[in-house]
Amino acid sequence: MADIARRAVLAASLAAAAAPAMASGPARTAFDFTLDALEGGSLPLAEHRGRALLVVNTASFCGFTPQYAALQRLHDRFAPRGFAVIGVPSNDFRQESTEAARIRDFCDTMYGITFPMAGLTRVSGQGAHPFFAWLAARAGGPPRWNFHKYLVARDGRSVRAFPTATEPDSTPMTRAVEAALDGRPLA
C-alpha cells in the first residue's frame, strides 16, 4: 500500500511540474515553440510558420565559429524563398559568453549576422530547452557539440540533423535546404 501511495505522490508531482509546459497541449510542430530573443523579449517560432528553418546551436569561442559566415550566406541566399536560419547561442560546451550584449556585439562585429538569434539557451542534457528536446527526439539526438544543425521542413514536423562538421554552404546542406523549400522529403 505504501508503494502505491508513493507512486501516486510521484505521479502527481511530475504532473504538477509538467503542467505549465503542457498547458496548451503537447507541441506538434516547431512553430509551437518560443525561445527567448538575444535582445530580450521572445522569439516565437510561430512567426516563421510556413518557412523552412535551420536551427543551429552557436558559440563565439569555438573552432567552428567561422561557420557563422556560411550561415549568413545561406540565410541570405534562401530567405527570399521562405527560409530562415535561427542562431541559438549555448554555453553547454563552455565556449560562449554568458552576456547577451557580448554575444550580439561579437556576431555583429565579426560576421554581420542579420538572421534571428535566440538568447543563451540550454540545448542538451536534462535542462535542455523543450524545443531542443523536441528536435532531438525527431532527429537522432541532442547536439554533441557547437554548430549542430537541425533543418526543419516548412510543415514544422519533419526534421533532419546535420553534425557540427557539415559546413552550412556545403552541397549536402544546400541540397537539403532546397528539398525543404520544395516540399520534398528531408532524408
DSSP 8-state code for residue 140:
T
Position 10: which residue type? Answer: L
How far apart are the C-alpha atoms of 121 and 147, rounded to whole Å? 13
107 is catalytic: no
Identified catalytic residue from 29, 44, 49, 62: 62
CA distances from 135 to 12, 38, 74, 77, 138 (A): 27, 20, 21, 24, 5
> Among all residues, which ones are annotated catalytic?
62
